[in-house]
Amino acid sequence: MSDSRGAGNAFGSNLASPIAGVANWQTATQATPGQADALVSEMGGLQTAGLAADEAFIIAAHRITPAFTAAIWETLRLANQKELIGPNIEPDTLPSAMPDTMPPASIEPPAGSFAHDAAVTNALIAKATLGPDTSFLGLLGFAFAAGIGVRLLMLPNEFRLVLNVALVVLPLLASYFMWVRRLPWRFTGTLLGCWAVLALVINLYPNQPGYGFSSHLPMTWTLTLLHLPILLWLLMGVAYTGGDWQNPAAQMSFVRFTGETAIFLILIAIGGGLLMGLTGAVFSLVTVDPFIFFANWLLPFAIPGALFVAAWLAARNKPVAGHMAPILARIFTPLTAVMLVATLVVLLASGSLVAADRYLLILMDAILVLVLALVLYATSARDPFAQPGAFDWLQFGTIVIAFLVNLVALAAMITRIAEYGASANKTAALGLNILLFIHLIGAGVSLFQFLRHRADFSHIERWQTQFLPVYAWWAGIVVLIFPLIFRFA
């Protein structure tokens, strides 16, 4: 048989149409959306080990779905019926399962034939024993570097730590995905340039508080602190998607990855907090205080490490998150709907829109962002091929109530700005509400069209994901432009 890399390329070129796409593989194997994410992550690790993209696809799919072997043959059968292999093979004569043994080495099937593709598939699956997975070892290295960065930031003062911790941790997490995905240099250079500009700007702007926490912080500094992690996380989506950030399927995969990372991070935090509490209790019995060590050395490494491990687990799609996603969406969607109704009643009962407490309006923004995140996560967790059901109508109702809450909050903010004038926090909140207003309208219309069988589910996914870059741009404006507009106040 020819060398494996050449064979892999022959396989990839001959079957690029029926199986090279993850969507076709997912349909053939009935894999979950989470398994599709795992396939992409596994392919990245295999390509890091030196395999070609088509070879990595075959091996990764075989690892993620053990039934992939039979699915390959079924896909070839369907491809033959569509005249993608050739008219000389009768579908009924094809075996229904992959043979256990490869053809003798002396027999070289003609390139492009069904037998050749079957032999190449067996050869690539045989290469699945590539040794230990190096991606996790690399992850630990990036996490350790993040821990060192956080520890060094603790030396100057608290404000430098709070402001720069996201600039240390999230770019290093993105660098891990850049390494695993083998991100092209043009994307790597762009990300490095963005991180460098952000690091320079936010540290050189003269809106930095002095040493030690004070009762009054510059509002532009606070807004930077809130929006910078959002901007950095969305920039990391470019690395996570391997540069394919304009693809709606890749964007939805990133949404799912974000939600599942949050799930794992919460679980790790609960377990780690419990362990630290028990350890502290034991040491206190012998009059030893371990909490100084925890604060100065353990937490600077443990917190970034927890995020890195949670992201790795989510990217590899360990079973718990894949199963929890739809369950959590179905639990929290009705609870969120009830909370939104109560929120709407409180807003309407507050009297004059000008008299509405600003902290109440800020809280409304936080609730609306949470609702939108839940809608996005529920969309990513849903089977795109399932027919509309009761849960979809419940989600539509949740979006309608969220839109009404947003409408009242938006009117209150416009009224307050007209009455008291604009400020950095009011303008930031108004801009966010306008984005949420547009996003909720589009989400509601696309979901209603799906419920009425006037559009497929991909229309909802496209609308949901195309707003992610908009939020990134808005976060960038708040971080970079707002301090200049409002004179660092």
- Average pLDDT of the segment spanning 472-479: 92
Tell me 294's DSSP state.
Answer: I
pLDDT in tens, 238-262: 888 877 777 777 788 888 888 888 8
Contact between residue 98 and residue 51 where contact means Cβ atoms under 8 Å apart: no
**Last residue of one domain, picked from the residues 73, 106, 126:** 126
- Whether 161 and 304 map to the same domain: the answer is yes
- The pLDDT of residue 106 is 37
- Specify whether 25 is located in the same domain as 167: no
Q: Are 108 and 1 in contact (CB under 8 A)?
A: yes
What mean pLDDT value characterizes the chain? 74
Angle formed at CA 46 by CA 136 and CA 102, multiple of 5 degrees = 130
Domain boundary among 72, 92, 126: 126
Instruction: Compute the distance between CA of residue 154 and CA of residue 165 in angstroms, rounded to an integer.
Output: 9
Pair (368, 442) in one structural domain? yes
Q: Please tell me the predicted confidence (pLDDT) of residue 337.
A: 87
pLDDT digits (tens, 9 = 90+) for 68-122: 545 555 554 454 444 433 333 333 333 333 333 333 333 344 444 444 444 444 4
* 146: pLDDT strictly greater than 90: yes
Confirm whether 262 is domain-assigned. Answer: yes
Range of lowest pLDDT (30-34, 54-58, 269-273, 478-482): 30-34
**The pLDDT value given to residue 358:** 67
Residue 102 confidence (pLDDT): 35
Cα–Cα dist 237/250, whole Å: 9
Nearest to 369 by CA among 462, 318, 423, 437: 437
Work out the burial of residue 273: count CB atoms within 10 Å of its CB; fewer than 13 is exposed, 13-18 middle, 19 or more buried: exposed
Same domain, 101 and 228: no
Residue 256 lies in a domain: yes
450 vs 136, more confident: 450
- The count of domains in the chain is 3
State residue 373's pLDDT score.
85
H helix intervals, 208-318: 219-240, 248-284, 291-293, 299-316
Using the predicted structure, report yes or no on whether residue 473 has a pLDDT greater than 90.
yes
Residue 118 sits in the same domain as residue 258:
no
pTM of the model: 0.70
Long-range contact pairs involving 43-48 (C-beta distance under 8 Å, separation at least 24): 44/135, 44/177, 44/180, 44/181, 44/182, 44/242, 45/133, 45/134, 45/135, 45/180, 46/130, 47/181, 47/182, 48/134, 48/135, 48/179, 48/180, 48/182
Q: Are 470 and 372 in contact (CB under 8 A)?
A: no
State the pLDDT at residue 27.
Answer: 61
Note whether 184 and 197 are same-domain residues: yes
- Quick one: pLDDT at residue 308? 95
Q: How far apart are CA 479 and CA 489, in angstroms?
A: 13
Which among 158, 164, 272, 264 is positioned nearest to 212, based on CA atoms?
A: 158
Find the angle CA(387)-CA(468)-CA(436) to the nearest 5 degrees: 85
Q: What are phi and psi of 353, to 5 degrees?
A: -65, -30
pLDDT tens digits, residue range 256-292?
888 888 888 998 999 998 988 888 888 878 777 788 8
Could you give the CA distance from residue 485 to residue 56 in angstroms, rounded to a whole number? Answer: 50
**What per-residue confidence (pLDDT) applies to 128?**
39
Q: What is the pLDDT of residue 50?
A: 54
**Whether 341 and 415 share a structural domain:** yes
Q: Does one domain contain both 311 and 325?
A: no
Does one domain contain both 276 and 144?
yes
Residue 13 has pLDDT above 60, yes or no: no
Q: What angle do CA 124, 14, 32 make, to 5 degrees?
A: 65
For the segment 289-312, the average pLDDT, to the nearest whole number, is 88
Residue 464 lies in a domain: no
SS3 214: coil
Structural domain of residue 366, as residue ranges? Answer: 319-455
Give the pLDDT score at 34: 59
- Residue 476 placed within a domain: no
The answer to whether residue 107 is domain-embedded is yes
